[in-house]
Amino acid sequence: MNKITGFLLICMSLPAFGSSALASANSFSLEAETFAATEGKQYAATQFLPDVQEKDIGFATHNLGQNYNTGTCDGYDYTVLNCPPPKVPSNPCPFNKRQFKECGCNSQIYKYSASNCVYKAQSPYYPDDNRLLADTCRDTQYNVLKAKECGCKYFRYTTNSSCGDANKVIDTRSSCQENNGEIRYESCRCNREIFPNMFIGLLHSQAFKDEVKRVCGNDKDFISCQNFSNEIHYKCKK
């Protein structure tokens, strides 16, 4: 087996050395059982990796022609031209680093989607609304909306006591959860155990007065609690 230490220049021609010259060399040593000397020069065989720029490996003054690995980039349909910011192309073709297989949002910047910024809502809230905030980006391939921020942090309530009102409890009809963490709620609602009757409409409308009179016997004999939107909960004083 050959043992070579020191610095060797790849793809250079090497003249045949005598054993005495090798033994006296300070830069490297060569130990071999046999060293066959041949006339002329010998070149190491080379094989170039795909898509290597000549200037990248020091062959800028030489024309490689077609003497390197070739292949197709079928399916690598994206370039920086058809994948503009805020999206970025990724997964380059091994034969042409300017063609890419995927075009998507930068996951280091656009961290949130509906999968980790989970918003759930029922009427009278807006079930189709999302809580993805700040700048958004939509993946070209998967049509997924992504965002820099998740609005769950603006949902103030987590427990009934966080409502700060003994007459109210958290409204579970509008919740948000970030990264499988604590479920947070958008608002509080009137406690149905305290205010069992509900009316949809305006507090000072004739329709509300008529209902209170029918339920309580007097249109002024009630205590009310206002919910989100136009929900009014009330109880009779008697």
- Report the alpha-carbon distance of residue 33 to residue 204 in Å, rounded: 107
pTM summary value: 0.59
Of 85, 90, 87, 88, nearest to 102 by C-alpha is 90
The overall average pLDDT reported for the chain is: 78
pLDDT over 90, % of the chain: 46
Of 129, 136, 111, nearest to 186 by C-alpha is 129
- Report the alpha-carbon distance of residue 54 to residue 50 in Å, rounded: 11
* Alpha-carbon radius of gyration of the chain: 38
Using an 8 Å Cβ cutoff, are 38 and 59 in contact?
Answer: no
pLDDT of 167: 94
pLDDT of 39: 55
